[in-house]
Structure 1
Amino acid sequence: MGSEQVPETRGVSVQLLATVDLAGELDGLEGRQLRTRMVTIEPGGVFGPLHDHVGRPGTVYILQGTITDHRDGVATDYGPGVGWPEDRHTLHWLENRGTVPAVEISVDIVASPPQ
């Protein structure tokens, strides 16, 4: 990422839509869950800081607005109907440079919360 300054998270709301406990669904996934969230980034908002997806693979799909994905020194804009994968090689942060809220659906595999 070089000397790029990565702002902290601001203007972001996250709504948990659903989870599925993966224990018993697929061998080797005990202690993991499939999670679906709706993330809204307000205009000028940032989903940071710089973060990776090691052990937390997933996909993102944009419903509304435009999200700028910053990785490897490159800023890529994604609009409605487009998405991207997030795997162990992903190191990024997101922002909404637009004038309307950007809304994404995020689906990932995460550690199950302690019971």
Structure 2
Amino acid sequence: MSPPQDTKGVDGKVVSTVDLAPDLPGHQLRLRRLTFEPGAVAGVHSHKDRPAFAYILEGTLTEMREGGFQKQHNPGDVITESRDVTHWAENKSSGKVVIVGIDVFKP
């Protein structure tokens, strides 16, 4: 089975951003709150140019990575999304999943 390409059922809200210049010109540190409705999918994506952390606030999120890795993340868990990570995630439960995402990105 190939990974899903499209994201659906995920609502992301930017809570805050910080410009990282002059140390990292053209980059920002971003804090987001993401809500995955039941059945929601975050399509396959790479963190090559966007390292991040995701903290699970509510619900259980299933993460899959290239190579067959699969893990369920529960409240209090942290997902480390370093430059070598290509992954996707699904809410396979009947309740919503809420995460806090922190990443460094180029706007």
The interval holding the TM-score normalised by the smaller chain is over 0.9
For residues 69 and 105 of structure 1, the distance between their equivalents in structure 2, rounded to whole angstroms, comes to: 15
Q: Partner residue of 1:88? A: 83
Distance 1:45 1:75 in 2: 16
| Aligned mates of 2:50, 2:79 — CA distance in 1 | 14
| Residue 5 (structure 1) shift | 2.1
TM-score normalised per structure 1 = 0.87
Superposition RMSD in Å: 0.9
The 1-side partners of 2:13 and 2:62 are apart by: 20
Q: Once the two structures are superposed, what CA deviation does each residue of 1:6-50 show, in whole Å capped at 9, x if it has no partner?
A: 2221111000000000003xx3x01000000011111111011x1
Where in structure 1 are there 5+ consecutive unaligned residues? none
**Unmatched segments (≥5 aa) in structure 2:** none
1:108 positional shift: 0.4
Alignment equivalent of 2:20, drawn from 22, 39, 42: 22
Aligned length: 105
Alpha-carbon distance between aligned partners in 2 of 1:97 and 1:67, rounded to the nearest angstrom: 7
Give the 4+ runs in structure 1 shifted more than 4 A.
none
Q: Which of 1 and 2 has greater Rg?
A: 1
The percent of aligned pairs where both chains have the same amino acid is: 43
The aligned counterpart of 1:5 is 2
